[in-house]
Amino acid sequence: MKKEDCIFCKIAAGEIPSTTVYETNEFKVFFDIAPASKGHALIIPKEHFDNIFSLDTETAGKLFSLATVVAGALKEETGCDGMNLLQNNGEIAGQTVHHFHMHLIPRYEGDDIKLIPASHEADKDYLAELAERVKKHI
């Protein structure tokens, strides 16, 4: 399924250009146009899924396997010291392109990129109760 006006569907189809690192029938890996760091790449399924809430588990599994390989390749060539895998779902979570994508963000000593703000310690009783409620849906 392809969505009209979805920029990543167009990238998947090769209708608009991207710096492609790797591609299969199902996935495409390309560099982010506005990289957070050197080597910042994105992995997308070619099929359109808005976000993780509509992604099927089989595609998710294959995508994460591919992410593992791509992470190693990026590390090899960039010499990065670490890497963040980031994946935003919904506008409130910072998603701006509503076609599922996984960010691979190489990290370098001293780069000072802040992806997740520091938080406060959670209420343990609340966590235990929430774990029970969430478990029912898995």
The residue (of 8 and 30) whose beta carbon lies closer to Zn ion is 8
Quick check: 6 binds Zn ion (CB under 5 A)? Answer: yes
Give least dist CB 81 to ligand AMP, A.
Answer: 21
- CB of residue 94 vs Zn ion: minimum separation in angstroms? 18
What are the start-end ranges of the E strands in the chain?
20-23, 27-31, 41-45, 82-86, 102-107
The span from the CA of 91 to the CA of 62, in Å, is 25
* 7 is a contact residue toward ligand AMP (CB under 6 A): yes
Give me the phi and psi of 21, to 5 degrees please.
Answer: -95, -40
> 85: Cβ–Cβ under 8 A, 6 or more apart, which residues?
67, 71, 102, 103, 104, 105
63 contact, one of ligand AMP, Zn ion, none, CB 5-8 Å limit per kind: none
| Interface of this chain with Zn ion, residues 92 to 111, rule: CB under 5 A | 99
When asked if residue 14 is in the footprint of ligand AMP (CB under 6 A), the reply is: no
- The question of whether 101 is a catalytic residue gets the answer yes
